[in-house]
Amino acid sequence: MSLQPIGIFDSGVGGTSIWKEIHKLLPHEETIYLADSKNAPYGEKSAEEILRLSIKNTEFLLNRGCKIIVVACNTATTNAIAYLRETYDVPFIGIEPAIKPAALNSKSKTIGVLATKGTLTSALFNTTSKNYSEGITLLDQDGEGLVPLIEAGKVDSIEVKALLMKYLTPMIEKGIDYLVLGCTHYPYLIPVIQDIVSDKVTIIDSGEAVAKQTKSILEKFNLSANNQRPKHKFYSNKSSEELKHFLMDYEVSVDFLNF
Ligand code: DGL
């Protein structure tokens, strides 16, 4: 048993899609969420810079007593999780584009991956995609420009639709039947994406899998909690208002913090 909080970080608001899955599966766990929105998008930064920011975020959460860290960001996971696991003493849960289920289930043998440049160019992504894409055509696309629009709350905007049309049309023309969302910001675009790709394409995101993995690791290390009134603290270093926008249905505290 450990009543200490679960620490979660992302480059911004996107990881709230993961927080929601964790909260649904583990309602008695306290959480601290860190949105490094001031430095978003991570996807356009160098591997060194993504690592430096991931270390800073991890130490912020560890200094507040977190018992486990969920890296709710594909870009940070694929560039930094190996180092974080080697360096710090707590368990780390990461998120990577879920190529495996898409490749296993695809009938057209053609799948799409929409992720950030930082994820698509990482060594970890390249290894995973090689391991699971034998006999599969894997079309990857950098979603440049989407994260800043989501950060600004423009989820349903004309700009988002135009970018998605540009990125997804070539994949549809090449016959994908699965689309893997490789960025935790993108689940907020699912209604728009589904409209563009039609119901012939199955969209896969890994939020639920991350929550299940978090539960199983907490159990394995005897770290689960049964807080009766768990608190949930959210911090943004850019705008608490923008972060709040994604948490409207939840009883949580959201604050600006200059870190
Ligand atoms: N939400 C992040 C991800 O899963 C990062 C997006 C970004 O900051 O570029 O990759």
Q: Enter the DSSP assignment of 13.
A: S
Q: Is 108 exposed, middle or buried (0-12, 13-18, 19+ CB in 10 A)?
A: middle
- pLDDT, tens only, 25-41: 999 999 999 999 999 99
CA of 119 to the centre of ligand 1 (A): 8
For residue 246, is pLDDT > 80? Answer: yes
The answer, yes or no, to whether any atom of ligand 1 lies below 6 A from the CB of 116, is: yes
The yes-or-no answer to whether 6-95+207-256 and 99-204 have a common fold is yes
Is residue 183 annotated as part of the catalytic site, yes or no? Answer: yes
* Residue 54, number of CB atoms within 10 A of its CB: 25
Instruction: Find all residues with CB under 8 Å of 111, minimum gap 6, and list them.
Output: 99, 102, 103, 133, 136, 137, 138, 139, 176, 177, 178, 179, 180
CA of 198 to the centre of ligand 1 (A): 25
Mean pLDDT of 248-258: 96
Helices (H), the chain: 16-25, 47-63, 74-87, 99-105, 117-120, 123-132, 146-151, 158-173, 190-197, 207-220, 240-245
pLDDT of amino acid 2? 84
The answer, yes or no, to whether any atom of ligand 1 lies below 6 A from the CB of 73, is: yes
pLDDT of amino acid 133? 85
Task: Give the C-alpha separation, 53 to 219, whole Å.
Answer: 29
The answer, yes or no, to whether any atom of ligand 1 lies below 6 A from the CB of 171, is: no
Lowest mean pLDDT, pick from 1-5, 78-82, 106-110, 230-234: 1-5
For residue 1, is pLDDT > 80? Answer: no
Tell me if 184 sits within 8 A of 15, measured CB to CB.
yes
CA of 114 to the centre of ligand 1 (A): 11
pLDDT band at 113 (very low <50, low <70, confident <90, very high): very high
Task: Give the C-alpha separation, 207 to 187, whole Å.
Answer: 9
- pLDDT, tens only, 45-74: 999 999 999 999 999 999 999 999 999 999
Is residue 73 annotated as part of the catalytic site, yes or no? Answer: yes
pLDDT of amino acid 70? 98
pLDDT of amino acid 219? 97
Q: Looking at the domain 99-204, which fold is it?
A: Rossmann fold (3.40.50)
What CA–CA distances, in Å, run from 99 to 111, 205, 251?
A: 8, 10, 34
Mean pLDDT of 152-164: 97
pLDDT of amino acid 34? 98
Domains of the chain, by residue range, sit at 6-95+207-256, 99-204
The answer, yes or no, to whether any atom of ligand 1 lies below 6 A from the CB of 45, is: no
For the entire predicted model, the pTM comes to: 0.97
Catalytic entry in 40, 61, 70, 73: 73
Mean pLDDT of 192-208: 97
Query: Ligand 1, residues 75, 78, 205: which to mutate, most atoms within 8 A of Cβ?
Result: 75
Q: Looking at the domain 6-95+207-256, which fold is it?
A: Rossmann fold (3.40.50)
Query: Ligand 1, residues 19, 36, 42: which to mutate, most atoms within 8 A of Cβ?
Result: 42
The answer, yes or no, to whether any atom of ligand 1 lies below 6 A from the CB of 74, is: yes
Q: Enter the DSSP assignment of 238.
A: S
